Chain A
Amino acid sequence: MIKKVKYLCDWILLSGSTLTVCLVLVVILWDIFSKGMSSVSWNFISHFPTDGMTKGGILPAIIGTLLLTLITTIFALPFGVACAVYLNEYARPSFLTNIIRACIRNLAGIPSIIYGLFGLALFVQTLRLGTSVLSAGLTLGLLSLPYIITTTEEALKRVPNSMREATLALGATQFETIKDVVLPKALPGILTGVILTMSRAAGETAPILFTGVAFYINGLTTSANQEFMALPYHLYMLSTQHQSIEQVRPLAYGTATILILLVFSLNIIAFYIRFKHRTQD
């Protein structure tokens, strides 16, 4: 009898926690969508802001965020994958590689504002890239690297050793083995990690603050050395820094809705890739 009560208590505690977490998510989404959907329209996503941001759309912020994510990925993907391949395939387990791994994990724990400062010092000033979408993209790339390295390493670890042995036993070099068998086999896992990292980077505000984001720019950002508008920063400005906050509140919610939809669609793509891969196995 006591056992039964205890079991029931455990169940209530655990399912209650899960339910609370889900509830928080639902409340957040409900709050944003219910207040934001009214301002979301085709015009909203295809037009420039007008009348001192109180009217019009957020096209430049959307383009800015997409461009930023693209630059981040172009920089972080090859470096991150190469680093993971080195750590998992080439580096022999030693004290040094353990140190390197620990450093990479710790990099993931550094507050993103620190990356912003570092990006300002390195890319904007030392390398003279100026406050630009390139500087911001590279800064976000640095922030994404530890995640990409870790998820890629996990994906590589899931490739069974028998695959590597099969290829090596045919007389393939280690590089051929990695290029032709290990990487293709790990690709779905790598892509999932990369997309999730991208969706995280797209929502970051602090690292781009010092490195290139602008409250308003005239025209679209079309080249890498220009400043840019971005959705999270736009949202921040509209909700805290605008002179008529009450008036632009619907636009702020609309921006939040678009940002969430963007991040969600990236997550759904990642989910789809993982699902498709699982059914193939």
Chain B
Amino acid sequence: MEEIKLSAHNLDLFFGKKQILKNINIDFPKNKVTSLIGPSGCGKSTLLRTFNRMHDLSPDATIEGVIKLEQQDIYDKKASVTEIRKRIGMVFQKPNPLPKSIYENLSYALKIHSFPKDEIPVLVEKALKESYLWEEVKDELKKPAVKLSGGQQQRLCIARTVVLRPEVILMDEPCSALDPISTHRIEELIMSLKENYTIVIVTHNMQQAQRISDKVAFMYLGELIEFNTCEAIFKNPQKELTKNYVSGHFG
């Protein structure tokens, strides 16, 4: 029996009056990679962003249902949103390094969570090594992060998330703005990160989903259609919609 890290129960999400997510029930296993797939506009990014409360920024979003990180109710009124975002990190579609140096991009995250000053350099180095970026940047840590290539920037964004030691890492199409070589490096990185982190990734790329996922969730028009192991979804889908989508008939 696999251990459940993150789960959603009876989750509905509305933007204004429009319902975007319809009664989603899903359990993400610990230290596994789960992919969310589905055609554009099916709500997979929206679902991803409910897990670290990014919808708090949109005034017209209303969320019903329960999301739990282990036993912690994420939308509990008493829960601290900053603490939740520290435990559930996020990597965005477009690399978005802060307008600071490479080093500060990581140290900033540690500073706002009041890590002891003397530990910061060690933690930064460790995170950059885990993200396969250390060898490329160790001599120019003071360089502005925007000077890095797109792929390096995205690995920096992953390092910035990893440096806080979150429990879950959410990734919203992290490779869609990258070339194939950078994509390959990020995929390798994801495979190594799952040793320690629970990863939920949104992807449009079927091959990528097959390469990296342990489990795959197929969504369509705001509903979770099918959720199973990677092999089952791609080799033996139970639903007609899933079968059509993974075989490339639409989407």
Contacts and interface: CB of A to CB of B under 8 A. Distances in A.
A92 interface: yes
Interface string A215-231: 00000000000000000
B92 A165 contact: yes
Nearest to A170: B109
B85 A168 contact: yes
A24 B113 CA distance: 59
Contacts of A169: 52, 54, 85, 89-90, 92, 161
Contacts of A176: 112
A244 interface: no
Contact of A170 (B54, B57, B160): B160
A185 B109 CA distance: 17
A52 interface: no
- Interface of A, secondary structure class, is helix
B83 A171 contact: yes
B54 A166 contact: no
Contact of B108 (A165, A173, A180): A180
B99 A171 contact: no
Chain A interface residue number, banded: 20 to 34
B99 A184 contact: yes
B146 to A, nearest CB: 8
B98 interface: yes
B82 A166 contact: no
A239 interface: no
B44 interface: no
Contact of A171 (B57, B96, B113, B157): B113
A170 B96 contact: no
Interface residues of B, number: 25
B96 A163 contact: yes
Given A165-B92, A176-B112, A170 B99 contact: no
Contacts of B108: 167, 170, 180
Interface in A159-206: 160, 162-173, 176, 180-181, 184-185
B59 A171 contact: no
Interface in B79-104: 82-86, 89-90, 92, 94, 96-99
Given A171-B82, A173-B82, A181-B98, A92 B59 contact: yes
A166 B52 CA distance: 12
Contacts of A92: 59
Contacts of A163: 96, 98-99
Interface string A92-103: 110000000000
Given A162-B94, A165-B92, A170 B52 contact: no
Contacts of B20: none
A180 B83 CA distance: 19
Most buried by A among B82, B86, B157: B82
Contact of B99 (A93, A172, A185): A185
A181 B105 CA distance: 11
Most buried by B among A160, A163, A172: A172
Interface string A34-46: 0000000000000
Nearest to A167: B98
A87 to B, nearest CB: 15
Nearest to B97: A166
B209 interface: no
Nearest to A172: B112
B124 to A, nearest CB: 14
Contacts of A164: 57
Nearest to A94: B59
B164 interface: yes
Given A165-B54, A176-B112, A171 B98 contact: no
Interface string B107-141: 01100110000000000000000000000000000
7 contacts: A162-B96, A163-B99, A166-B96, A169-B89, A172-B112, A180-B108, A180-B112
Given A171-B164, A172-B112, 17 more contacts: A162-B92, A162-B96, A163-B98, A165-B54, A165-B57, A166-B97, A168-B57, A169-B54, A169-B89, A169-B161, A170-B85, A170-B112, A170-B164, A173-B82, A180-B112, A181-B99, A184-B99
Q: Closest 10 A-B residue pairs measured CB to CB?
A: A171-B86, A171-B85, A162-B96, A169-B90, A166-B96, A171-B82, A170-B109, A92-B59, A172-B112, A185-B99
